[in-house]
Structure 1
Amino acid sequence: MIVLEFKARVKPAQATAINDAIRASQFVRNKALRYWMDNRGVGKYDLNKLCKDLAEEFPFAKKLNSMARQASAERAWSSISRFYDHCKRGIKPVGFPKFKRHSRSVEYKTSGWKLLGPKRIRFTDGFGIGDLRLIGTYDLAHYDESRIKRVCLVRRADGYYVQFCIQAESQVQIEPSQRAIGIDLGFRYFIATSDGRVVEAPPFYRDAEARLKRANRQKSRKFRKGSKPQSKNYHRARSRYARTQLRVSRQRIEWVKGIAHALIQSNDLVAYEALTVEALVHHRHGAQSISDAEWATFCRWLGYFGAKYGKVTVAVPPRYTSQPCPGCGAIVTQALSVRTHRCSYCGYEADRDGQAALNILQLGLNTLGHRGISTLGEMGPLSRLAPA
């Protein structure tokens, strides 16, 4: 499956209709979640049946396409099944499903929309969204319409976007590099690799922090407590602040995407830490640095590019990866503030992050075949692989 995204040229009336559709989708999802909470033993198909009852009871829910209602219920079930999975595997925090307050998308399946050309789409549900012109460089005419399995309308700070989920092969065959690499994610560097290289993360958020604070102050000055609706000046300031945040987010994502692509292209096996980023961001001293590093996004792109280019990505448990000595295997206990690994048994000395990357690579090679969290990729015999 591949996802193609286009920006949509939207008129004010169409923007209002899209927002109404997003609110209806959020309502169906929250109702499905409440139904699951109130009824023991509810399954996925029970939530799909609930969609029909909601359409009969609420006129605005009936305006939403029937398959879009089912997609909203499936979103609720996705969060429920993830919660069950975390409970079974003992992952903390388990992530109990929450009600959505500010949804930004509505998803259609194979009905409720119709392509009028390679750059134009019509939405046919009861909200009257109508025809949208698509802006982008992708060519939808290359794919048969029957291969489009989902269409998603997304609202962002700088406008509305249309995403197409297309059933298509995205694998690319490239020459094997006969190399393997281990990656340690850290604060001092974004990544340290087992071959002694380090990559420092550009401080995108910290560079934009002054602009963000200024935009936030301007937004706060325009806010009038108890005033409904807020003034147009407030909404302009809020939009300006959101666009600044969006720009920083896109900078980080594009940067980690490039790093992940380069690592997958130049190695046949990539071993990395299966960090639980959701738990780490609660650290009061390192939360901002962790969020700015985009570790979770980096690991997702590693998995995606691994599947695309037929490379192996292995997520290993992060616990105690910096304590074993790569030289003799002895356990060397040291405080987190000590950044140089010195083994008192064999005299091996190295940067702590690089030493952890060597251990991660060894764990990845030892546990190959027991794939970790968020790992993808298939390839042939691996007996010829050797560390870079």
Structure 2
Amino acid sequence: MLVLEYKVKPKPQQVAAIEEAIRTSQFVRNKVLRFWMDNRGVGKAELFRYNTALRNEFEFVKDLNSHACQTAVERTLRAITRFYENCKQQKPGKKGYPKFKKHSRSVEYKVSGWKLDESTKKHITFTDKKGIGKLKLIGSRDIQYFQPEQIKRVRIVRRADGYYVQFSIKLDPRDTVKPLTPTQKAVGIDVGLKFFIADSQGNTEVVPQYYRKAEKHLNRLNRRKSNKYRKGKKPQSNNYHKARQRSAKKHLKVSRQREEFVKKVALRLIQSNDLVAYENLNVKGMVKNRRLAKSITDAGWTTFRQWLEYFADKYGKLAIAVPPHNTSQNCSNCGEKVEKSLSTRTHVCHHCRFVCDRDWNAAINILQKALYIVGRTKIYASGETSSWLVGEILLANEDSLNEESTSL
């Protein structure tokens, strides 16, 4: 799926209509979740029938497009399914029991309830009874290159700096780019807090620390917001909401800066290498360390991995996650284990006298692990088998010959 996002600037009455649609979608989701809690064992069909009953019972639910109500039910189903899967897999810790939504920020339509302007496709009109009406799409991406039947979902999202309309288009991202020329290069990368990444070729990328740099300003905005908050007062004053909006916009800017940085680094790595190896880190467990949690979150390792895997799939490259065990301790030259603390930044091997930067040594080990994994992989689909044992060479050749003979 390809997602196109456009900024919209609704009028005050349209803002009220959008907020009403978001609250209605949240209401349907929470009511369906309560129905599931009170009637354990009900399935998908019963939940959708209950959604129909809600539309007949409440007029404001009926005003929302029926497909938008169905997507609210689907969100509940995804949360329930994820909870059951975590229980079956015996996931350690909390299993993710579904929770009620208090502050939803989006409403999602399917193939009805909206209509694009046929001439320019720069305007969208929402046709349900909530009264959102016509909105102008502001953005550089042109949606007129896609057929209307390719648009499977339309979502209105509220953020700190305004409202956005997203289009989910049924399209393989690999069809939107030209195949890259193979670079015949492979690289291993080690993420860290001193350097954002250090690769096996000796290159490093400094951590930008966007949150650390903006922390002083963020704390000031948060104090101003707290000073205007009056406990027990409902609703809060306009000055409080203005301060809250300023703080939220600053947080949004920091998160966007971080995501654009990791996206740029991930794209550069994929375009310049055919194979990229990285550590399969348990970031969720690492942030439990209160001394390093802020720095790890500010680095954006999880977001970086997501974009790395996305670009690898888009451009037809290999992105391989390897176990992180002893990548910093083992010597990349001789393989011996050299114990070192986190503060020791230089790798000095007492067995082979190899000396290099700690992160560079780890990146080489990561690349070696990835190549080992690739070397042991057997590929049967093409009719060939990778033989990594001497005794399997004849068997592999025999399998290949047999497959070729049967296909002729």
Q: TM-score, normalised by structure 2?
A: 0.85
Identify which of 163, 166, 169 aligns with 2:166.
Answer: 163
Q: Which residue of 1 aligns with 2:394?
A: none
* Counterpart residue number, 1:242: 248
- Cα separation, partners in 2 of 1:61 and 1:179, compared to 1, 3 Å: same
Picking from 110, 113, 120, the partner of 2:123 is: 120
Match of 1:291 among 287, 297, 309: 297
Q: In structure 2, the residue corresponding to 1:165 is in which secondary structure?
A: strand
Distance in 2, matches of 1:370 and 1:122, equals 55
Superposition deviation, residue 115 in structure 1:
0.7
What SS does the corresponding residue of 2:153 show, helix, strand or coil? strand
Which structure 2 segments of 5+ residues have no match?
378-383, 387-408
Question: Counterparts of 2:367 and 2:128 in 1: how far apart (Å)?
Answer: 52
Say which of 253, 262, 269 aligns to 1:263.
269
Aligned mate of 2:343, from 332, 337, 341: 337
For the Cα contact (< 8 Å) 2:221–2:246, is it kept in 1?
Answer: yes
> What does residue 252 of structure 1 align with?
258
- Aligned amino acid, residue 109 of structure 2: Y
Range with greater deviation from structure 2 (60-69 or 119-128): 60-69
CA–CA separation in structure 1 for the residues paired with 2:49 and 2:240: 42
Report if the CA contact (8 A) 1:181-1:194 is conserved.
Answer: yes
What displacement does 1:88 show?
Answer: 4.6
Counterparts in 2 of 1:85 and 1:264: CA distance versus 1, 3 Å: farther
CA contact (8 A) 2:194 2:207 kept: no
Contact 1:271 1:360 in 2 (8 A): yes
Tell me which residue corresponds to 1:148: 151
Q: Which deviations, in whole Å up to 9, do the C-alpha atoms of 1:46-71 show, x marking residues without a partner?
A: 43333223323333322222211221
**1:277 paired to 2:280:** no
TM-score (norm 1): 0.89
Aligned residue type for 2:303? T
SS for the counterpart of 1:367 is helix
Q: CA deviation at 1:224?
A: 1.7
In structure 2, what is the equivalent of residue 386 of structure 1?
none
Aligned residue pairs total 375
Structure-2 change in CA distance of 1:282 and 1:99 (3 Å): farther
Q: For 1:278-336, what per-residue CA distance to the aligned partner results, in whole angstroms no more than 9, with x for missing partners?
A: 33222211111111111111111111111111111112232332233222222333333
The residue that corresponds to 2:234 in the other structure is 228
Is 1:211 aligned to residue 217 of structure 2? yes
Summarize the Cα distance change of 1:196–1:43 in structure 2 as closer, same or farther, 3 Å threshold.
farther
* Distance in structure 2 (CA, Å) of the matches to 1:313 and 1:96: 32
Specify whether residues 215 and 20 from structure 1 end up closer, same or farther in structure 2 by C-alpha distance, changes over 3 A only: same
Q: Percent identity?
A: 55
Amino acid at match of 1:191: I
Output one character per residue of 1:213-272: Cα deviation in whole Å (capped at 9) or x when no partner: 111111112212222111111111111111111111111111111001100000111111
Query: Counterpart amino acid of 1:131?
Result: K
Unaligned runs of 5+ residues in structure 1 are 372-380, 384-388
Matching residue of 2:31? 31
Residues 99-122 of structure 1 deviation map (CA, whole Å, 9 limit, x = unaligned)? 222111111111111112411011
The amino acid that maps onto 2:350 is S
SS in 1 for 2:172: coil
- Please give the alpha-carbon distance, in whole angstroms, between the structure 1 residues aligned to 2:240 and 2:84: 42
**Aligned residue type for 1:243:** K
User: What's the counterpart of residue 376 of structure 1?
Assistant: none
Residues 369 and 137 of structure 1: is their aligned pair in 2 closer, same or farther, counting only changes over 3 Å? Answer: farther
Supply the RMSD in Å over aligned alpha carbons. Answer: 2.4
Q: Mark the structure with the bigger radius of gyration.
A: 2
Q: Give 1:368 deviation, angstroms.
A: 3.3
2:64 maps to 1:56: no
Answering whether residue 180 of structure 2 is matched by residue 174 of structure 1, we say yes
Say if 2:193 and 2:207, in contact at 8 Å, map to a contact too. no
Counterpart Cα distance in 1 of 2:97 and 2:157: 25
87-96 vs 192-201, which moves further: 87-96
Corresponding residue number in structure 2 for 1:97? 98
